[in-house]
Amino acid sequence: MKHMLSLMDWTTEELRSLLALSAEIKADPLGRFDALTGKTLAMIFEKPSTRTRVSFEVAMNRLGGQAMFLSPNDMQLGRGETIEDTARVLSRYVDAIMARVFSHETVVQLSTGSVPVINGLSDALHPCQALADSLTLTERFGDVRGVELAYLGDGNNVCHSLINAAARLGIRLRVGTPAGYEPDPAIVAAAREAGADIALTTDPREAVVGAQAVYTDVWTSMGDEAEAAERVRVLEPFRVDATLFAFALPDAVFLHCLPAHRGDEVTAEVLDGPRSVVFDQAENRMHTEQALLLTLVDGG
Ligand code: CP
Ligand code: NVA
């Protein structure tokens, strides 16, 4: 059973096919309207979402299927039914499960059912975001392979999936984080083992110099709220403002997974500027997820 828990579960060829299918779908979004007729996607959200929830629901609709929003608090899951039992029961009803969870282990346990499971963000990874980002970079640069991308800020779930994209899709990644906020060394090591070109630094300028694309994410991820004040203090030098962005190439683009906090991790000038592609990234969530659903549920 194929899942999308991590980009590392997919080969380079599979991911490149997925991106090619995403571009085809983007050019003709209703071209496969009957592909998933009668099929249902269960969507479990332990955390809030705008893009993930809406893009997956619209993606299913555009394939002729349906998506169902499930809040754990309204399920027996919230009263102690095990994740494995939930997965087995849902597998009898639906054709795929997408879940946004606190612990990555939860999506792993959900994948013990008998339908494909998609990680819609865990504390460790956000593979669907990195897929949309890879399509966005492909559109801008002709190919995602070899693109010099600087990621600044917290070495979090979004950063980890970009590291995986570096391993599988050949993004050349420089990660700039404060000490103590580096990405998980095991994820970096596995990516390097798979041939990824990844540089780590605690100097934001060093990360950005000469980059073709500069990416940042919120300083306080969902679940980290108790550390918000400390994070603002430590991450402040990593704010992407016009001065820092100017160290990148003159035509470099700016990326952010959104939601953004103008004035914290990025200034309004950069986020709303002419080289920002953040709304292309958001749109591309839908096209890449449509391709992912087709591939997982219908075999492509
Ligand atoms: N980027 C992203 O996953 O956004 P949501 O939290 O709105 O789903
Ligand atoms: N790192 C952020 C991403 C939000 C889409 C979080 O986990 O909250």
CA distances from 203 to 157, 162, 179, 254, 264 (A): 20, 19, 10, 18, 18
Give me the mean pLDDT over the 10-29 stretch. 98
Nearest atom (ligand 2) to Cα of 52: 5
3-state secondary structure 77-119: HHHCCCHHHHHHHHHHHCCEEEEECCCHHHHHHHCCCCCCEEE
pLDDT of residue 291 exceeding 80, the answer is yes
Q: Are 18 and 292 in contact (CB under 8 A)?
A: yes
Alpha-carbon span 217 to 230, nearest angstrom: 16
Q: Are 212 and 249 in contact (CB under 8 A)?
A: yes
- Coil vs helix vs strand at 67: strand
Give me the mean pLDDT over the 21-47 stretch. 97
Ligand closest to CA 225:
2
Residues having CB closer than 6 A to ligand 2 are 121, 156-158, 217-218, 221-222, 257
Alpha-carbon span 257 to 143, nearest angstrom: 20
- Coil vs helix vs strand at 255: strand
| d(CA 109, ligand 2 centre) in Å | 21
Task: Verify whether ligand 1 is closer than 6 Å to residue 52 (CB atom).
Answer: yes
pLDDT of residue 208 exceeding 90, the answer is yes
pLDDT in tens, 80-130: 999 999 999 999 999 999 999 999 999 999 999 999 999 999 999 999 999
Residue 265 structure tokens: 């991790």
pLDDT of residue 298 exceeding 90, the answer is no
Ligand closest to CA 284:
1
| d(CA 119, ligand 1 centre) in Å | 12
> Which one, of 277, 278, 283, 214, lies nearest residue 245 by Cα?
214
Question: Any bridge partners for residue 4, and if so which?
Answer: 118
Point out the residues that are catalytic: 100, 126, 129, 217, 257, 285
| d(CA 158, ligand 2 centre) in Å | 7
| d(CA 258, ligand 1 centre) in Å | 6
Identify the structural domains of the chain with CATH numbers, from first to last.
7-126+285-297 (3.40.50.1370), 129-281 (3.40.50.1370)
Give me the mean pLDDT over the 63-67 stretch. 98
Q: Are 42 and 96 in contact (CB under 8 A)?
A: yes
| pTM of the complete model | 0.98
pLDDT of residue 300 exceeding 60, the answer is no
Q: Where are the beta strands (DSSP E) in the chain?
A: 40-45, 66-70, 96-100, 117-119, 148-152, 172-176, 198-201, 213-216, 253-256
| Mean pLDDT taken over the chain | 97
pLDDT in tens, 122-157: 999 999 999 999 999 999 999 999 999 999 999 999
Task: Verify whether ligand 1 is closer than 6 Å to residue 278 (CB atom).
Answer: no
